[in-house]
Chain A
Amino acid sequence: MRSGGMARDNQTTMNSTNNNPIAECAKALTGIAGFDLITRGGLPRGKATLVTGGPGSGKTVFGLQTLANGVILNDEPGIFVAFEENSRQIVDNAASFGWNLPDLKELFFLDAMPASDTISIGEFDFSGMLTLLSAKVHAMDARRIVFDSLDVLLHLLPGPVERRREMNRLHSWLVTNGLTAVITAKLDWQRADAMPLEEGGLQYMPFIVDCVIVLVHDFENTYSQRRLRIMKYRGSGFAENEAPFIIGPSAFEVASAGDPVPAEHVSTERLSCGVEALDEMLGGGFIRASTTIITGVPGTAKSTLAGVFSVTACKRGERALYLAFDESGGELARNLCSVGLDLQSHVNSGLLHIHSGVAGAGSAEEQLLALKALVHRHRPTWMIIDPFSSFIRSGSEVTTQAVAHRMIRWVKSKGITLICTSLTTEGGVSGTLLRISTVADTWIHLNFFNGGERNRGLTIYKSRGTKHSNQVRELILSDAGVSLATQYTGSGEMLMGTMRWEKEREKSEELLRLEAEFESKRVAVTRELAHLDAQIETLQHTVEAKRLILRSMSDVEAGRREEETLRESGMIRVREAKQSGFVDGIPAKGGLEEPAVEGHHR
C-alpha cells in the first residue's frame, strides 16, 4: 500500500526506481545517490531503521543526509537527536559537505549529549525525552528523526532489562508518531571478537526495527573501501549484495549498478571523430553514447587522438569533459598545440573542461563518484578518461573491474560518448583491461611498427554495430594535425613510414627505369628498321644494276651469236667454194684447226 507520502516522494527525481509490480511498503527517499536505488525507494516510511557500523563508518553522515534531504527534497521537517556530539559540531561537519544546516528552518537539533559529570542514582527512563520530543514533533510537523547514536543512550542504563525496556519504549514511540527514523548504533559486525551486541544490550534492536543497514569500512591494497549492506528490510525487496559507497564532497554516495540504458536512448547517430580516414574505418564515425577504448604502448599518441576527438566534439558545439591523469590541463593544452590542436579556446568558451585527476588519490569507488560529480557539474556529452588505467588503478582487480563496468554503464545511461585511453605493455593487454574491453563498444589499438624508425599504426580491434575496416593504418602526427595514411599493402605486407615511402619510391623508380628501357628499345628498333629499309633500297639498286648488267650481257651474247652465225654462213660459202665433199655440218668456229687440236689431245 502506498501512502500519500509516497506519492509526494514520487514527484522527485527517483520516480522510476520502484517498478516492482508487487506492492511494497511505503518508503521515504533518502536522496542519497544510489541508496534509493538499491532499496527501491529509500527507507521504510514511518518506521525505524537501524544503521550500524564501526567508528568512522559514516553512520552520522547517513542520518544527517537523510534528514537534510528530507527537508530539501521532500519537504519533510526533521529532528536530529545528538547524543554523541553537540549540534554545533554537527553543523560544522555538515558545512564541509556544503550543507548550510542553520538555513534549514525545518531541521531541529536536540543536544542530548549527557554532561560528563552526570551520575545516575536509581531508575530512570526516556519517557521524559520522548514526551518533549513529541511536543516538538507536533509543533513542527516533523516526519523524520535521527537518534545518533543509540548506544550512548543505552549505556546510561544500568542493565539489560532496562535497556530492552527503553528500546521498546523508543520503538513504540516512533511507531505511534509515524516517524521515519534512523537510529545509529556503534556495531562492528566484521569483528567476531567484539561482542557489542551483548554488552550494549543492542542484541534486541535488529529484531524490533524494520530495516537494518550495516556499514563497513576497511582497506584493500591500502585503499580505503567502504561498503554498505542491507541486512534486513521488512516488506521490501532490496539488493542483497554489499554496495560500495564513499563519503565524498557531496557526502554519502552509494554505488549502484544503475538502470540499463533505455531503448529509446540507444542511438544510431554517427559522430565524426575528426580524422576523416578513421571515420571511414569506423563506418562513419563513433556512435553517440558508445564507449571506445584506445589502447597502446607509451607514446603511441593516445592522448593526441583523444585530444582530436575532444576538439572535434567542441567544434560541433558539444560539451566535453577531459579527465587527464598524466598531465595537467595546461600541459595537455600546450602539448596538443604542437599538433595543431587548440584546446585552450574551447576551455575558454566553457565547452571543454579539463580535470586533472591524481592517480590513486582515492579508491576506485571514490574516483567514480568524483567523476559523477564532475559530470553533474559540467554536463558533458563527450568524455575522455586519459588514461583509464590510472583511473581504475586503485584497489584490487575485482573492485576496480566492477567499478569500471558500473562507470561505463552509468556514462552510457547519461548519453555520453566515452573515450578511454589505456596503457598497454609491449607484451599485450592486461587481464583487467581485457575484461573491460568487453564492455566497450569500440576498441582502437595503437602500436609501433619498426623499420629503422618507430611508426604509429592504428588498428580497430572491434567496433560494435559498425562495419569497420580490418586494415592497419599509419597514424601521422604533424603540425597540421592528425591524419591516417592510406596503408601500402604491396606484396601482402604492410609498410609504414620510411619503409612505405621507400617502397613507394622504389616502385616509381622501377617504373621510370622500365619506361626508359622501353623508349631506348623503341629507338633501337626504329633505327634497325630504318637500317633495314636502307639496306632494302641498296639491294634494290644492286638488283637493278645486276639486271642491267644481265641485260647488257644478253645483248652482247646475242650480238656474238649473230656474228658467229654470220661467220659460219660465211665459212660454208668458203668451203662450198673449196671442196664439195663437206656436206656434214661441222662446227663453224675452228673447224679448220680442230683436227690439230684433237690430235694434240690424244
Chain B
Amino acid sequence: MTGVSFILYISSQTPNSIQAEANLRSMCLTNFPDHHIEIMDVVEHPERALADGIIVTPTLVKVAPGPKQVIMGNLSNIPRVLRAVRWDGTR
C-alpha cells in the first residue's frame, strides 16, 4: 500500500484539530510508509477551504489513490479510518 495522499483541514489550535492531526500522523506512520499529508488550516486559507466546501473541522480528505473519501471528526477510531480509506474493497 503506497502513495497515499491526504489533506487534513483543521481550525488552528482547537482540541479536535490537534487530536486529528496527531491521529492521522500516527496512522500513516504505522500503515502507509509512502504517504503525503497536507495540513490545511482554514483560518489561514479560508478561500481554499470555501472552494473545497469544508463545513466542519477537522475533515480528512483522502485524494489518492482511488476515489475521493471524506471523513469528518478527530479520527479517534483509527481502525475505522483505515477501513474507510482502503480502496481495495477489504473494509
The chain A residues found within 8 Å of chain B, CB to CB, are: 83, 110-115, 117-129, 131-132, 134-136, 153, 156
Of residues A114, A129, A134, which shows the largest number of chain B Cβ atoms within 10 Å of its Cβ? Answer: A129
Q: Is B3 interfacial (CB-CB < 8 Å)?
A: no
A138 to B, closest residue via Cβ: B46
Q: Is B81 interfacial (CB-CB < 8 Å)?
A: yes
Q: Is B84 interfacial (CB-CB < 8 Å)?
A: yes
Q: Is B28 interfacial (CB-CB < 8 Å)?
A: no
CB pair B55–A129 under 8 Å, yes or no, is yes
CB pair B11–A121 under 8 Å, yes or no, is no
Measured between beta carbons, the chain A residues less than 8 angstroms from B5 are none
B57 to A, closest residue via Cβ: A128
B9 to A, closest residue via Cβ: A128
Give Cα A555–Cα B55 distance, bound, in whole angstroms: 165
Per CB-CB distance, the 6 closest pairs between chain A and chain B, nearest first, are A128-B57, A122-B76, A135-B46, A122-B73, A132-B46, A128-B11
Measured between C-beta atoms, what is the minimum distance from A182 to chain B in Å?
A: 18
Q: List 12 A-B contacts (CB under 8 A).
A: A114-B70, A117-B67, A119-B71, A121-B72, A121-B81, A124-B72, A124-B74, A125-B57, A129-B42, A129-B54, A132-B43, A135-B46
CB pair B81–A124 under 8 Å, yes or no, is no
A135 to B, closest residue via Cβ: B46
CB pair B49–A132 under 8 Å, yes or no, is yes
CB pair A128–B56 under 8 Å, yes or no, is yes
Give Cα A112–Cα B81 distance, bound, in whole angstroms: 23
Q: Is B77 interfacial (CB-CB < 8 Å)?
A: yes
For chain B, residues 56 to 78, give those with C-beta under 8 angstroms from any C-beta of chain A.
56-59, 67, 69-77
For chain B, residues 32 to 60, give those with C-beta under 8 angstroms from any C-beta of chain A.
42-43, 46-47, 49-50, 53-59
Measured between C-beta atoms, what is the minimum distance from B6 to chain A in Å?
A: 14
CB pair A132–B16 under 8 Å, yes or no, is no
CB pair A120–B9 under 8 Å, yes or no, is no
Measured between C-beta atoms, what is the minimum distance from B60 to chain A in Å?
A: 8
A110 to B, closest residue via Cβ: B50
CB pair B42–A126 under 8 Å, yes or no, is no
- Count residues of B near A (Cβ-Cβ below 8 Å): 36
CB pair A131–B71 under 8 Å, yes or no, is no
Measured between C-beta atoms, what is the minimum distance from A132 to chain B in Å?
A: 4
Measured between beta carbons, the chain A residues less than 8 angstroms from B72 are 114, 118-121, 124, 156
CB pair B74–A128 under 8 Å, yes or no, is no
Measured between C-beta atoms, what is the minimum distance from A108 to chain B in Å?
A: 9
Measured between beta carbons, the chain B residues less than 8 angstroms from A112 are 53, 55
Measured between beta carbons, the chain B residues less than 8 angstroms from A126 are 55-57
- Known pairs A118-B71, A122-B77, A153-B55; A127 contacts B11 (CB<8 A): yes
CB pair B71–A128 under 8 Å, yes or no, is no
For chain B, residues 10 to 38, give those with C-beta under 8 angstroms from any C-beta of chain A.
10-12, 14, 16-17, 19-20, 23
CB pair A124–B58 under 8 Å, yes or no, is yes
Give Cα A136–Cα B45 distance, bound, in whole angstroms: 11
CB pair A83–B77 under 8 Å, yes or no, is no
Measured between beta carbons, the chain B residues less than 8 angstroms from A129 are 42, 54-57
Give Cα A112–Cα B56 distance, bound, in whole angstroms: 9
Give Cα A115–Cα B11 distance, bound, in whole angstroms: 20
Measured between C-beta atoms, what is the minimum distance from B24 to chain A in Å?
A: 11
Give Cα A429–Cα B54 distance, bound, in whole angstroms: 64
CB pair B73–A121 under 8 Å, yes or no, is yes
CB pair B11–A131 under 8 Å, yes or no, is yes
CB pair A156–B76 under 8 Å, yes or no, is no
Give Cα A127–Cα B53 distance, bound, in whole angstroms: 14
- Known pairs A123-B16, A136-B50; A118 contacts B58 (CB<8 A): no
Give Cα A209–Cα B11 distance, bound, in whole angstroms: 26
CB pair A121–B10 under 8 Å, yes or no, is no
Question: Given contacts A120-B73, A125-B57, could you give 18 more A-B pairs where the C-beta distance is less than 8 Å?
Answer: A83-B55, A117-B67, A118-B70, A120-B71, A122-B16, A124-B72, A127-B11, A127-B14, A128-B17, A128-B59, A129-B42, A129-B56, A131-B46, A131-B57, A132-B42, A135-B43, A136-B46, A136-B50
Measured between beta carbons, the chain A residues less than 8 angstroms from B71 are 118-121
Of residues B9, B56, B67, B73, which shows the largest number of chain A Cβ atoms within 10 Å of its Cβ? Answer: B56
Give Cα A523–Cα B81 distance, bound, in whole angstroms: 134
Give Cα A403–Cα B12 distance, bound, in whole angstroms: 56
